[in-house]
Amino acid sequence: MKSAFTLIEVLAAIFILSIVIVVSFQSMSYMNQTHQQNEIRYLALNCLDSEMSRLVMADKNTTYDISGGAYKHGNSDLGTQDGDYGLKIASDGRNFVQLKDIRGDFNKVEDGDFVAILSWTQSDDNVTLTLKYPYIYKGGDVLQNLWYFDEEITLKTSIKS
């Protein structure tokens, strides 16, 4: 006796296969989003480490302007106004540090780059660096959120000799 698939069995198989395909695509999308978030988090940690190294390399002539958040070495900025060295000091006093270069020159803050807002405070005993991220730099002093939430990393270090 020959048996064949009935229409109900074929439709059930198609329905189950479509569920498997939809769940697979959603899983891949979730894994891709998680990977991108982890990459930005890694870049933020690396950026914070780089900024701390920049401060450590500065000598005692370095002054910290807490109100604007800018730090200067003698009369010259350690970061420049045009965004070189991955740091841009905005006209409103915020400091944008490049997390990921999207297009253009590497280590120069340009439109479309992923950036973080760098701020710090100094006391007699320590320097505290804080990164709030991720944002997309839109030129001038304009930022757009990359995610629907912000993250923040704070690093506190001793400067006593």
First-to-final CA distance of the chain: 93
pLDDT of residue 84: 59
pLDDT digits (tens, 9 = 90+) for 79-122: 444 555 677 777 777 788 888 888 777 777 888 888 888 887 77
Q: Where are the domains of the chain?
A: 7-158
Residues 27-51: tens digit of each pLDDT:
999 999 999 999 999 988 888 888 7
pLDDT at 70 over 70: no
Helix (H, G, I), strand (E, B) or coil at 62: strand
pLDDT at residue number 154:
85
Q: What is the pLDDT of residue 38?
A: 93
Q: CA triplet 88, 94, 98: central angle to 5 degrees?
A: 40
- Output the pLDDT for position 27: 95
